[in-house]
Amino acid sequence: MATRNTAAAGRLLVAPSVILLFVWMIVPLAMTLYFSSLRYSLLDPDKIGFVALQNYAAFLSDPNFIAALVNTLVLVGAVLAISVCGGILVALLMDQPVIGQNALRLMVIAPFFVMPTVSALVWKNLLMNPDSGLFAWIAQSLGLSPVVWFTNHPMLSVVIVVSWEWLPFASLILLTALQSLDEEQKEAAALDGAGPVSFFFYIVLPHIARAITVVILIETIFLLSVFAEIYVTTTGGPGVATTNIAFLVYKEALLDFDVGAASAGGVIAVILANVVAMFLMRIVGKNLEA
Amino acid sequence: MARKQSSGKRLGVTLLAWAVAFVIFFPILWTFITSFKSELDAIAMPPKFLFFNWTLENYAEVQQRSNYLKYASNSIVLSVGANVVGLLFAVPAAWAMAFAPGKRAKDLLLWMLSTKMMPGVGVLVPIYLLFRDMGLLDSLWGIGLVLMLLNLPILVWMLYTYFKEIPAEILEAARVDGASLYDEIVYVLTPMATPGIASTMLLAIILSWNEAFWTLNLATSNAAPLTAFIASYSAPEGFFWAKLSAASTLAIAPILVLGWISQKQLVRGLTFGAVK
């Protein structure tokens, strides 16, 4: 019940946040757009000139860009598949009447709170190191030769590390959704003689479908810009084997000092993210109305 | 209980669940154990699980060699400071959207959220150049500002979902009794909103603590938080696993505890209220 006064006060209270976010997003974004039309290298800052879409042409035809785009999609796709499928299984398991459920939950969610630089380095060294890592020992004990993870399977290694970070997130969200499933509905299904498989596909899956969608969208947004894990393990290599778009833009900007090209890459990354964001906003927006 | 389960089956499921949870948790446990080993024990093959000389020297050395406390205090200053300032902006905004929504409140909320979808690399170049020109690179103020802005949409959004749950009738009653806007906020709203604000703050601190894109790119030494401190272990000299583990344990322990406390709110916060 907003009177005219409170509405005015309301606008006044919202304004600072809106202005801050507007400046934070729109100004740099406009600058990125502007830079992306320039020949602008920090190594040669006197030679700034307008080149229209040349940066985009160069960026898009650069084989490294194609590789980075493919890597980005592979990374996002693989981690999504692992974390969502794994998350469903873990959530189903945790939802059972198991002994010590709370302790289990704490253990499962823990990796999500580990900072990305820590998870990446711990996995790379303590677990995946081919000489003294734990996986090497397991392989040896089984009579296999240790896998040289980050050299021979760089992308798979990054996928494993990032999946470990996001599986807990998916599990926690899906478990929360599962727990809101009616006991009555479960009982009714049991009375009707639904087996576990049909129970899962006709009752459980539809119930958590929205949560799954939300997990997919949110993870996609974060996974599109995975950076720290690559930065501390492979630095994009070997070659460009683990360079995703986020890392490529970083490399062009802060290692090669090519402002123009990096900006064009940044704009492309924004477009990619926005496609995903549009779907997410639609779901969240619907929820706002409910 | 939907289905009667035999106790044998229940035991089996419990064992399976514990096994899965153990595997997921294991890398953290392993890091913790390794942090008490000597560097030689840390790389021993076969690995030493529990029977080795437990030592605290890694913790001492991490502080001595690389001044852990400086990075830790940067992390604390940045993640707490940025979000306290963020609250100053977010609380009024969320209050207004929940209790005095204009026609565009919903659009505005969604727009704020959409700024969160912007990938960092999209604005890395201009922010880097602006910061360079303004002397904000590697400064707590500059990085704090970025962290504050990164979290502002989440702060507003989460607070909004909490404020929405406060019955508007109470506020109306206060208004009828002649409470001013100031009274309303301080005496009515604040006490009721404190739990929501606290859990919002907790989540925001966790997110800032672990933020690694901007902190790695904008900080080099003076203002570098723990994310950058740990990253410096990616180019090691000699044997360093035990020290890496000690540093890692120190870097994640406080936030793990906070995370465990706030895990219920986490779901709401991270899905923007879409899953409760």
Annotated domain spans of chain A: 25-61+258-290, 70-242
Convert the pLDDT of each residue in A206-246 to its tens digit. 888 888 888 888 888 888 889 889 988 888 878 888 998 88
CATH no. for A70-242:
1.10.3720.10
Smallest CA–CA distance from A4 into chain B, residue: B100
pLDDT, residue A84, reads 94
In this prediction, residue B5 has a pLDDT band, given cuts at 50, 70 and 90, of low
Q: Which amino acid is at A220?
A: T
- Considering the entire predicted model, what is its pTM? 0.85
What residues 159-188 of chain B have any CB closer than 8 A to a CB of chain A? 168, 172, 181
- Closest-CA distance, B115 to chain A, in angstroms, reads 7
Block residue for tokens 């040289």:
A148
CB B166 within 8 A of CB B189: yes
pLDDT level of residue A4 (50, 70, 90 thresholds): low
Residue A38, strand partner residues: A50
CB within 8 Å of chain B, chain A residues 86-125: 90, 93-94, 96-100, 104-119, 121-123, 125
Give residue B2's pLDDT.
44
The least confident of A85-89, A136-140, B62-66 is B62-66
Provide the residue ranges of all domains of chain B, joining segments of one domain with +: 58-270
Reported confidence tier of residue A280, pLDDT bands at 50, 70, 90: confident
Can you give the pLDDT at residue B1? 44
Of A31, A49, A30, A32, nearest to A40 by C-alpha is A49
Residue with the larger pLDDT of the pair A10 and A267: A267
What local confidence, expressed as pLDDT, does residue B16 receive? 92
Which CATH number is associated with domain B58-270? 1.10.3720.10
B200-257 pLDDT tens trace = 888 889 889 988 888 888 888 888 898 888 888 877 655 688 888 998 999 899 889 8
Determine the average pLDDT of the residues in B61-83.
88
At B76 the pLDDT is 93
Q: A67 near A240, Cβ under 8 Å?
A: yes
pLDDT 10s digits, A162-196: 999 999 999 988 998 888 887 777 778 778 877 88
- Interface contact flag, B30 A104, Cβ < 8 Å: no
Any A CB within 8 A of B52 CB? no
Per-residue pLDDT, B237: 57
Q: What is the average per-residue pLDDT within A274-290?
A: 71
Please report, for residues A225, B73, B111, B114, B177, the alpha-carbon distance to residue B154 in angstroms, rounded to integers and kept in the order given.
18, 24, 12, 10, 34
Whole-number average pLDDT of chain A = 84
Please give the pLDDT value at position A24: 85
Give the minimum alpha-carbon distance from B33 to chain A in angstroms, rounded to a whole number: 11
- pLDDT the model gives residue B207: 87
Checking if the pLDDT of B190 tops 50, the result is yes
Which token pair is A47? 């030679």
Continuous segment of H or E residues that includes residue A21: helix A4-35
Chain A residue at shortest CA distance from B268: A173
